[in-house]
Amino acid sequence: MAVLSWDRQTIMPAGGGEARAEQMATLRVLRHEAITAPDMGDLLGEAARAPLESWDAANLREMRREHTHATALTSDLVDARSRAAAACETAWMTARPAADFKSVAEPLDTLLGLVREVAAAKADALNKSPYDALLDQFEPDGSAKAIDALFARLEPALADLLPEVLEHQTREATDSPASHIPVDQQRDLGLKVMASLGFDFEHGRLDVSAHPFSGGVPDDVRITTRYDTADWAGSLMGVIHETGHALYERGLPKDWRGQPVGASRGMALHESQSLLMEMQVSRSRAFFDHAAPLFRAAFGVEGDAWSPEALYRGATRVSRSLVRVDADEVTYPFHVILRYRLERALLSGDLSVADLPGAWNDGMRAGLGVRPPDDRLGCLQDIHWYDGAFGYFPTYTMGALAAAQLFAAARRGIDGLDAKIAEGDFAPLLAWLGENVHRWGSFHDTDAVLLAATGAPLGEQAFLDHIRARYLGA
C-alpha cells in the first residue's frame, strides 16, 4: 500500500487513477479483514494472560490498539472511505494548480461525510470524542483538550514575538542571491545534502510530487520534493524535512520490523524529526558554514550573497507568508493552528465544505495579516484533507515544539555539536537521535520519550526560548 501510494503521487499516469483506487481499496479491506478476523479478539485475550517480556507486552498493547480501531469499522465503510479518498485526491491534483476549489468541493464533501462516519464509530469504540478518535490514529492518546491548552499558551506568545522579530529584521542587512536555479542543479544539491545528513540511498530514493512527502517502508524509504526555478531554497528545505522523516523510519528497531511496536510512535515525534533537521539544524548558522560551499559548487555561483552569513540571514527571514510548507518557523504554528480549528469545525458540521475557502481566507487575515489571492495559495495548498487525513494537522506544531526540546537536549548531550554541524559531521546527532528517539519505536508514548530524552514532557517553553535566541539574540 505504501509503495502504491508513492507511485500514484510520483509516476502513475493520470489515467491510472480509477484502477489504483480499486487496488488500494482492495488492499485496505484485506488488511482490515485480517485484523478483525472472528478469532482475533480471543487470541489477543489469550496472549494477555501469558507472561511477556517488556517489548512483547508493548507489542501486544499496540496490537490491541490497532484491533480496537479496526473493529470499530465495517469492511464496507473501509472500502467506501478508501475509494472516496482516492477520488478526492485525484480531483485535488487537478484542482490545485488551476486554483479551482469548486471542482473538488463535491468529492471533498463526500469524503468528509465518510470521515464523520469513521470518527463516530471510533469514538464509540474508544470512548473518545469524534475528533479525539481521529487524532488517536496519528497521535495515540492525544486529545483536543491538551492541544487547546498548549495552543492557548503558544499562540499569544508568538503573536507578541512576531512584531518584535519583524522589527528586529529591519535593522539587519540582507543580500539576495540569484534566485533562478535550474531544476537539475537543485536536485544535485538536494542529493548531496541528503547524503551528508545520513540518508542511505541503498534503502531510499528522491522523487518529485505535487506535495512533498515521505513514504514507503523502513527498508525502502521514498521521499519527494517539488521544484521551482525561482525558489531553490523551498525545494531544498522540503528535501531536508522529508529526509528527517526518512532517518527516523530507517532508525526504527530492526528486530521489530512489521510489528506494531516497531512502528513510529505517532506523528508528533515523526514531525519532530523532520522539523529538527529542517528548522533546528538546517537553518542554524553552523549549518551554512558546511552548506555554503556545496551551494556555490552546485550552482556555479560566487559573491557575498552566497556567504554563510548571508545564506543564514536568508534562511531565517521571517514574513507573513501564505504557504505552510514554505513558512518560517516563527509563523509556521499560525498556519497549523488555523487548520486545526478549521478541521474541527468541518468535522462537527459547524463549517460546510462550500464555506471553507472563505473561512480559510478570513483565518489567514486574522492570524497572519495576509489574505490568499486564490485558493491554490489558500485551502487547496495541502493534500491532507483531500486524502481524508483529518486529525493530523496539530501534530506539525506539536512536532516543532518537540524538535526544539530535543535539539536543546542534544546540544547539552553532545560536546561541540554546533562545531560538528559546521564541519558537516552529522553522525553524532544522528546517533543521539537514534539512541533517544528512533530505536524506541512505539515502546514508549510521546511524553515518555521526551521526558527521558529532555527531562520534560511536551511543552512550548524550549521552542519560545529558541525563537527568542535565534531571531532576537535574547
Look at 458 and 234; give whichever has higher pLDDT. Answer: 458
Q: What is the mean pLDDT of residues 191-220?
A: 95
Same domain assignment for residues 157 and 130: no
Last residue of a domain, one of 139, 162, 196: 139
Average the pLDDT over 253-267 and give the result: 96
Residues forming beta bridges with residue 222, ordered by sequence position:
205, 215
* DSSP H or E segment with residue 47: helix 40-48
pLDDT above 90: percentage of residues in the chain:
94
Same domain, 342 and 290: yes
- Whether the pLDDT of residue 157 is over 90: the answer is yes
pLDDT greater than 90 at residue 423: yes
Q: In whole angstroms, how far apart are CA 263 and each of 17, 343, 431?
A: 29, 26, 19
pLDDT for position 178 = 63
Say which residue the cell 485484523 belongs to: 35
Residue type, 388: G
**For residues 241 and 279, what is the distance between their CA atoms, to the nearest angstrom?**
8
Q: How confident is the model at residue 216 (pLDDT cuts 50, 70, 90)?
A: very high
Residues 89 and 158 in one domain: no
Residue 184 makes CB contacts below 8 A (sequence gap 6+) with none
| Claim to verify: residue 178 and residue 206 sit in the same structural domain | yes
Same domain, 231 and 366: yes
The pLDDT of 431-437, averaged and rounded, is 98
The verdict on 263 and 389 lying in the same domain is yes
Domain CATH for 299 = 1.10.1370.30
Summarised one tens digit per residue, pLDDT across range 75-134 is 999 999 999 999 999 999 999 999 999 999 999 999 999 999 999 999 999 999 999 999
Decide if pLDDT at 474 tops 80. no
Query: What pTM was estimated for this model as a whole?
Result: 0.93
CA distances from 114 to 8, 66, 109, 178 (A): 22, 20, 9, 47
Q: Are 74 and 183 contained in the same domain?
A: no
Same domain, residue pair 94 and 179: no
**431 with 290, same domain?**
yes
Q: Percent of the chain beyond pLDDT 70?
A: 99
At 176 the pLDDT is: 65
pLDDT of residue 165: 96
Domain count, the chain: 2
pLDDT of 177 strictly over 80: no
Are residue 112 and residue 179 in the same domain, yes or no?
Answer: no
CA 144 to chain centre: 18
Mean pLDDT over the full length of the chain: 95
Catalytic residue (one of 89, 242, 249, 271):
242
Encode pLDDT of 123-152 as tens digits. 999 999 999 999 999 999 999 999 999 999
By mean pLDDT, which of 15-19, 188-192, 255-259, 278-282 is the weakest? 15-19
- Please indicate, yes or no, whether residues 107 and 160 belong to a single structural domain of this protein: no
For β-strands 214-217 and 204-208, DSSP reports them as unpaired
Structure confidence by residue, pLDDT tens digits, 317-360: 999 999 998 899 999 999 999 999 999 999 999 999 999 999 99
What's the rounded mean pLDDT across residues 27-53? 95
Q: Is the pLDDT of residue 174 over 80?
A: no
Residue 305 has pLDDT above 70, yes or no: yes
- The reply to whether 242 belongs to the active site is yes
Structure-model confidence comparison of residues 171 and 198, the more confident one = 198
pLDDT digits (tens, 9 = 90+) for 351-410: 999 999 999 999 999 999 999 999 999 999 999 999 999 999 999 999 999 999 999 999
Task: Return the pLDDT at 175.
Answer: 66
Distances in Å between the Cα of 26 and the Cα atoms of 5, 22, 33, 82, 87 are 13, 6, 11, 9, 15
Residue that has been written with the C-alpha cell 509516476 in this structure: 11
121, 139, 157 - which closes a domain = 139
CA distance 213 to 222: 8
Q: Which of 79, 114, 139 is the last residue of a domain?
A: 139
Q: Which domain holds residue 435?
A: 145-472
Could you tell me if 352 and 229 lie in one domain? yes
